[in-house]
């Protein structure tokens, strides 16, 4: 089932009634809209005067809805997920913990190859200089010990934006647009990991002790170019806007329903991410050798 991504940027009271999330105007108690909780995949809260009932929170956790809270800069600041989302949670975590280092290094090699492939395809689609990306992709080693990811990134950002552009979390515009998009993508990937029964804190490459979503940061890598495509589309149509407007955020939230090619089938990205997480678990158990990753179409 295709779930919905909802953005709320005004004062609101959110409550549960008849298995639906009801959106109320706080001062008048007027109903502004309602959405069946089972249809929700992601809920983004972007106003300090939003109140949400505990009953609704519990219902959303029971349906694996990821709730994203934004800070005073209107950037995603935190997310709420259920502690577990699969009936075989303990068995799956055991398999995850027992994954060998050689296996994880091979999975990371494949992850970077797929990321570079999608970056290359995006540059090609936009008519930009992409040819060196082919060599970078072909030279990825186990565990990416030669850092082809970083070398490819230098080329990618120069020819995606400009020769003097620096991709940084706190860098100049248009960094803020990519930051927002990646935060949304990270939430979607974390949701799929929990739903699959894996621990998002245990990555295949990322190991930062301060990062509770290492595995999400791993699996989202080949999906980043899909965010980049949406951002570039926005920048082309809105070249003079540097603010993270509500319109931009609504534009980015379309990412969940964007079509991708995965396992030779066209699927919405939200469904594809679950396919990726499930295939990773099968790699842990030896049922598969490769993670299923998306292709730009």
Q: Is the dihedral of CA 15, 16, 21, 22 positive or negative?
A: negative
Whether the bond into 174 is cis, omega within 30 of 0: yes
Host H or E run for residue 43: strand 40-45
Residue 90: CB partners within 8 Å, gap ≥ 6? Answer: none
Which parts are annotated binding residues?
149, 206, 221
What SS3 string covers 10-49? CCEEEEEECCEEEEEECCCCEEEEEEEHHHEEEEEECCCC
> Could you give the maximum distance between any two Cα atoms of the chain, in Å?
62
CA 208/CA 198 separation, integer angstroms? 18
| Buried b / exposed e along 235-253 (16+ C-beta atoms within 10 A) | beeeeeeeebeeebbebbb
Q: d(Cα 116, Cα 140) in Å, to the nearest integer?
A: 10
- The continuous run of DSSP H or E covering 216 comes out as helix 214-219
The annotated binding site for Mn(2+) is made up of: 149, 206, 221
**Cα–Cα nearest to 137, from 120, 161, 155, 158:** 120
* 141 token code pair: 């080693």
Tokens of residue 239, six digits: 């070249």
Nearest Cα neighbor of 275 from 189, 179, 177 is: 189
What is the DSSP code (8-state) at residue 268?
Answer: E
- 270 touches 3 (CB < 8 A): yes
């Amino acid at each position: 089932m295709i779930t919905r991504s909802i953005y709320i940027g005004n004062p609101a009271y959110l409550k549960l009634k008849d298995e639906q999330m009801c959106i109320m105007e706080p001062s008048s108690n007027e109903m502004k809209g309602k959405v069946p909780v089972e249809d929700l995949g992601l809920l983004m809260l972007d106003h300090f005067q939003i109140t949400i009932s505990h009953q609704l929170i519990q219902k959303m956790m029971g349906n694996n809805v990821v709730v994203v809270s934004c800070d005073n800069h209107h950037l995603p600041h935190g997310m709420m997920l259920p502690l577990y989302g699969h009936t075989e949670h303990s068995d799956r975590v055991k398999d995850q913990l027992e994954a060998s280092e050689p296996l994880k290094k091979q999975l990371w090699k494949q992850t970077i190859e797929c990321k570079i492939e999608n970056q290359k395809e995006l540059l090609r689609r936009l008519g930009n200089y992409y040819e060196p990306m082919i060599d970078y992709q072909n030279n990825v080693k186990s565990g990416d010990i030669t850092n082809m990811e970083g070398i490819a990134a230098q080329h990618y950002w120069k020819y995606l934006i400009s020769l003097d552009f620096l991709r940084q979390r706190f860098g100049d515009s248009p960094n803020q647009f990519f930051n927002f998009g990646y935060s949304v993508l990270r939430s979607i990937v974390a949701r799929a990991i929990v739903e699959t029964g894996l621990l998002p804190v245990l990555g295949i490459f990322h190991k930062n002790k301060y990062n509770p979503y290492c595995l999400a940061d791993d699996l989202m890598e080949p999906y980043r170019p899909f965010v980049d495509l949406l951002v570039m589309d926005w920048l082309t149509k809105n070249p003079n806007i540097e603010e993270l407007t509500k319109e931009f955020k609504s534009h980015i939230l379309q990412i969940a329903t964007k079509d991708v090619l995965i396992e030779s089938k066209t699927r919405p990205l939200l469904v594809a991410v679950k396919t990726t997480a499930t295939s990773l678990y099968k790699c842990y158990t030896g049922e598969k050798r490769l993670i299923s990753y998306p292709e730009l179409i």
